[in-house]
Amino acid sequence: MFFSIIVFVITLLILVLVHEFGHFLVAKKFGIKVEEFGFGIPPRAWGKKIGETIYSMNWLPFGGFVRLMGEDEVDMMTIDKKSRDFRAKTVWQRILVVLAGVSMNLVLAWALFYIVIISQNFRIIYPVPEQAVYILRTQEGFPAQSAGVRSGEKLFKIDNQKISDIDMARKLIQEKKGEAVALTLSDIDGKNIRSVDVIPKKADNGDFLIGVIFSPIPFKQYLTLQEKMFSGISYSWDLTRLTFYGLGTLSGQLFSEGFGQASESISGPVGLAVITNDILSLGWIAVLPYLWFVGIISLTLAIFNILPIPALDGGRLLFLTIEAVTRKKVKADVERMVHQIGFLILMGLIILITYSDIRKLFP
């Protein structure tokens, strides 16, 4: 477990550094002074000034930050347009600085997904909101492959009887005793529904088989050149859609069942560390699953940071968008107060989620 914690902390450090490095690079590009590059949330545990920037480690290991000159100042004094102050830059330059962190996390997620997809011959696990019955793969010499059943398809029905689990599917096929069965199939997303007739083949042990391996979780296969070229990006888009579906479900749980029930489906740093330990316990074969897991975290960081939540990049982007549209800045003291309130709320949620994660360890 200790080794897994070290690996997770290093992973978190890398993800935070990648995100903040995006802000850092674009700020430097536009001549903005970077006063501090920090990992974690203050109070500061350690810091060293290199050039004009302080590089720090902070006591609360949740995220990180880049502190730009003038970014959170409320003094309305006139700023020289040639100044290295964040406020002196055009609204579009400031928007690009804010978007840079999210963009870096997104690019990292794409890169990791490409590595996993290519390493698995352009095939990857495809998370879905609810378990169902999917075709993991078909076997040569058996009727399912000859009938055109494809890997990755979802099995809805057998002979118009809705399928709830793998055991039910196997039982219905066995009961036909070699007679034709009608399989109702679709793609992973439940679209392009079609029906295929398959005649089970009697195996040496007397079982009647159609030659498929079922799975409760689908794997997506990228077949064409275009699908392969954009596989990492399209996979990220699929996961983003699933994330927003999950957010909608979580919101419903919060209103109907309260935080206690909703917290069962979310994890904070402690929960992610536990998942890390579960994956790494597999040994060397865990390399690709762990890269996939890190890609998921990086993509999630990008998604949540772009949401219009005060104290996050999306919250700052919202105020900058208002300025770009109205051509008038929101009062600095108002924006600062909103971000401070948002920060306190976020810290409260982090504490609650961390408490929930720890409670799960000791049921």
179 is catalytic: no
d(CA 55, CA 154): 51
Question: What tokens does 17 get?
Answer: 């550094």
d(CA 267, CA 283): 23
Question: What tokens does 288 get?
Answer: 């690709």
**Interstrand relation of 181-186 and 154-158 (parallel, antiparallel or unpaired):** antiparallel
Q: 3-class SS at 361?
A: helix
What's the angle, vertex CA 85, arms to CA 90 and CA 108, rounded to 5?
A: 70
Q: How far is CA 218 from CA 137, 149, 154, 191, 360, in A?
A: 10, 14, 8, 14, 28
What's the angle, vertex CA 72, arms to CA 66 and CA 74, rounded to 5?
A: 165
d(CA 172, CA 178): 11
* Ramachandran area for residue 251 (φ above 0: left; ψ -120 to 50: alpha; else beta): alpha
Secondary structure (DSSP) of 174-229: HHTTTS-EEEEEE-TTS-S-EEEEE--EE-TTS-EE-SEEEESS-EEE--SHHHHH
> Which of 20, 71, 153, 335 is labelled catalytic?
20
Q: Where are the beta strands (DSSP E) in 204-285?
A: 208-209, 212-215, 219-221
Looking at residue 86, what DSSP letter applies? Answer: G
Q: 3-class SS at 148?
A: coil
Q: 3-class SS at 244?
A: helix
d(CA 36, CA 115): 33
Which residues are known to be catalytic?
A: 20
